[in-house]
Structure 1
Amino acid sequence: MCSVEELVERVDCRDRVLGVVTRRQAIREGWLHRIASSVCRDERGRVLVHRRSEHLSRFPGLYEVVIGGAVGLGESYEQAAGRELAEELGVRGLPRLLFTFINRSGLSPHWLGVHEVVIPNALTPDPDEVAWHGWLTESELHSALAEWRFTPDSHEAFSRYLAFQTAQF
Structure 2
Amino acid sequence: MAGVSARDELVAVYDEAGEPVGSAPRWRMRQEGLWHAATSILVRSGDGTAAYVHRRTEHKDVNPGAHDCFAGGVVAAGELPGSCAERELAEELGVRGVPLEFRFRSVFERGSIRHHGFVYEVRWDGPLVHQPEEVADGWWMPLAELRERVADPEWPFAADSRQFIQEWFTRQEA
Describe the superposition over 1:118-155 as per-residue Cα deviations: whole angstroms up to 9, x where unpaired.
12242111122111111111111123322531010121
Matched-pair contact (CA < 8 Å) for 1:105–1:156? no
Describe the superposition over 1:31-71 as per-residue Cα deviations: whole angstroms up to 9, x where unpaired.
21110111110112111110011232322211001110011
CA distance in 2 between counterparts of 1:55 and 1:48 reads 21
Which residue in 2 is equivalent to 1:166? Answer: 173
Letter aligned with residue 10 of structure 2: L
1:151 equivalenced with 2:158 (yes/no): yes
Which residue in 1 is equivalent to 2:73? Answer: 69
CA distance in 1 between counterparts of 2:111 and 2:131 reads 23
1:52 equivalenced with 2:66 (yes/no): no
Matches within 5 A, 1:129-140: 129-140=134-145
Aligned partner (choices 90, 115, 127) of residue 120 of structure 2: 115
Letter aligned with residue 139 of structure 1: A
1:20 equivalenced with 2:23 (yes/no): yes
CA distance in 2 between counterparts of 1:142 and 1:106 reads 25
Where 2:113 maps in the other structure, the secondary structure is coil
Letter aligned with residue 32 of structure 2: E
1:43 equivalenced with 2:67 (yes/no): no
Where 1:87 maps in the other structure, the secondary structure is helix
Letter aligned with residue 159 of structure 1: Q
Aligned partner (choices 103, 109, 112) of residue 108 of structure 2: 103
Deviates more, 1:82-91 or 1:15-24: 15-24
Letter aligned with residue 49 of structure 1: V
Letter aligned with residue 124 of structure 1: V
Q: Structure 1: where are the runs of 5+ without partners? A: none
Where 1:8 maps in the other structure, the secondary structure is strand
> 1:97 deviation in Å?
1.5
Aligned residues: 167
Aligned partner (choices 86, 98, 119) of residue 82 of structure 1: 86
> 1:74 deviation in Å?
2.2
> 1:105 deviation in Å?
3.6
TM-score normalised by the chain length of structure 2:
0.87
- The sequence identity of aligned pairs, in percent, is 34
> 1:2 deviation in Å?
5.2
> 1:3 deviation in Å?
4.0
Structure 1's 79 and 151: CA in aligned 2 closer, same or farther, altered over 3 A? same
